[in-house]
Chains A and B, each alone.
Chain A
């Protein structure tokens, strides 16, 4: 009865000399992964159209002048892909090093550290981070001469404007995931965009309003896709700052939201018999990882009888 089943066509290609066969519509990244090649990804999210922003997944394609971003390039019949050429490895390493020198990545998705090691990325070779000098508001056309002894960073104080979100843009790598999740990919609220140019680029609300005064509806669907911990729930942020955040002691329980009747799946992250964070599984077809303000943040009534 369903009209969604289409005839599947198989595409055949080679990755580092190894032949792979994947269904039509797969990406070059899928092909590399099926060949057992682990490429880093940052801006790529499985539920989103690739933004091709970060370039950490680039590979060599026979016949192509430039390196190609593997996450966004659709696999074509007969493609010859090479992941381990000097040019591809150098490019991936340099991008990781530059991101690591400009942004704080110690709260990133856990694979990142492994990718850094695998690529041999050494961000420290650009000098110690100039952390104590928050960057100035953008002044177009007027860049001071770079301080060569220290690495320029995107450091700015964390924006703590309410009890739900923290925007800690010192960790931002401008991967566009939050912008796309807030926009046409998922939430369609369009509360944030990239403002500015070059090194002054940053994620901003309209007119740089504080979040409570912006169009934000506090769904937290940007938090759900942020790969570096720049966008984070306030409870998690506070616990991390206090050194109380302990993922190894946390349990994750899959359940269903207690509010409306849509049936969003929730993963309750608990530590010491308290909920400390709520997420939704990216691979569940009801939510694709998305929630509304009530689902993501409205659970503090649970156990509120204990601590008042």
Chain B
């Protein structure tokens, strides 16, 4: 946020906050140990709101559940903002001294009355008012979100709408107040930190900034393209246009993880050359020309960065099987095959080079990471203790390092419209014992596993004349599949849910829409229009 892409707060702060808003996050199942910290906060007296289309196991802990219609988040957030402004509950001093763009924001949210938000979102205006008043009045408050906010065609706008609320009330840059995107994968934060983004170098330094580039070029001894690269959705377009012809896939299973998998398969098959480097022969690897067996987790050294920006050491406990090699070894060998003189560095050597170039990580030696059980960035020097929370500078007077901007964002309905032909909304997510496409989690025997099913509200089950276990056909504008029905009382009529873990039986991405957010490249996995038919 405001520059560096990371959550503002550390887990311990949520234990000491006064108000917790879980917005589009079922952390109880998707991030169970983060939710332990949330529950400590609740036991310490924090109030909790859940904003989620489903009354999830997280929402069941909330004092108030706002059961919004999928994709209506901005309408609700803007109405919260309007209510806070109208009632004079905003932090006037903070807005004046540390932010910019308030007037335009206030003008934008003016039309989002509680009534209008209720009409768009299905949430009673009174509940929205209550959230607004408690957030406006709280001494300390945290907004936490996950993919319920970001897997939409307007993902970035959704996030900005939440950031606006924190700027309005000064709930950022202080101990116990912040904005917390809980990361879905072990090292998705670290990947971003390390510059595995099309527009960033390690430490969130801009690719298009000549000074940053030249710093890296000196150490790397090669020239970095001056223009930002493509995120995944732009790569799909480039494949369709025929300008992207070869793909090197490291530890991803895009054939099953990307939206609209029929389209994705056609795309992958149209390429000239695919290399997959993975620990398993995934469905994507089956399509590849070359498969490089990689050492997996517990078989290699390195670091992960967690959702609280904490870099922690990852260690090798086992020898990799067969001919599998460490990723660093594989990449170095490929470079040598291209004729470059690359010795294979140790993980620590690679890390030390990176931290010499990234001020955020400068003070994080392996020895310190070891001794301190991890460090949170920014940690510029070896005598720096790391940072519990970000943006404390916004409370300096005069504010140091630039003002935080409000963003005026408007509600836009999900791309996949509900019509008579496709009258139900399907949303997707994780279950407690499983993970993504099931490549890893499918290999242990969980007594809690719910295999590929379509979750429906009991009311919809009655309306469709189906019972639990009955097979139904689920169709969207892109494809269809059959699945057994399971009743889930956390769903309201009109809303269906499928987990993403069983692409081999019930590939939900046959149904999903690959409409994507132009700012982040994320596809709209969370909002599909479907029709459900009983199979006799």
Contact = CB atoms under 8 A, between A and B. Distances in A.
B317 A186 contact: no
Given A263-B304, A274-B318, A303-B318, A297 B446 contact: yes
A305 B442 CA distance: 14
Contact of A298 (B319, B392, B441): B441
Nearest to B32: A292
A301 B434 CA distance: 13
Interface stretch (B124-132, B181-189, B336-344, B458-466): B181-189
Contacts of B32: 217, 219, 262, 292
A268 B296 CA distance: 14
Contacts of A273: 318-319
A260 B444 contact: no
Interface string B302-319: 001111101011111111
Interface in B418-463: 432-435, 439-448
Contacts of A302: 296-299, 318
B445 A164 contact: yes
Nearest to B373: A284
Given A263-B306, A263-B374, A218 B298 contact: no
Chain B contact residues, majority secondary structure:
loop
B34 to A, nearest CB: 5
Contact of B388 (A2, A255, A260, A305): A2
Contact of A3 (B16, B30, B310, B440): B16
Contacts of B435: 259-260, 294, 298
A261 B187 contact: yes
A284 B440 CA distance: 25
A264 interface: yes
A263 B312 contact: yes
Contacts of B445: 162-164
Contact size class for A?
35 or more
B444 A298 contact: yes
Interface in B8-63: 11-12, 16, 30-34, 36, 39, 43
B111 to A, nearest CB: 36
A298 B435 CA distance: 10
Nearest to B174: A1
Interface in A129-181: 161-164
A305 B33 contact: no
A3 B182 contact: no
Interface of B: 11-12, 16, 30-34, 36, 39, 43, 174-176, 182-189, 279-280, 296-299, 304-308, 310, 312-319, 321-322, 324, 373-374, 388, 392, 432-435, 439-448
A-B complex: 8 closest residue pairs judged by Cβ atoms: A263-B306, A261-B183, A292-B32, A253-B317, A258-B297, A301-B443, A163-B445, A162-B447
Interface of A: 1-4, 161-164, 184, 186-188, 211-212, 217-219, 251, 253-265, 268, 270, 273-275, 284-288, 290-295, 297-306
Given A293-B433, A301-B440, 19 more contacts: A1-B388, A188-B36, A188-B39, A212-B447, A218-B447, A254-B315, A258-B440, A260-B30, A260-B182, A260-B185, A268-B318, A270-B317, A285-B12, A286-B33, A292-B432, A294-B433, A298-B433, A298-B440, A300-B443
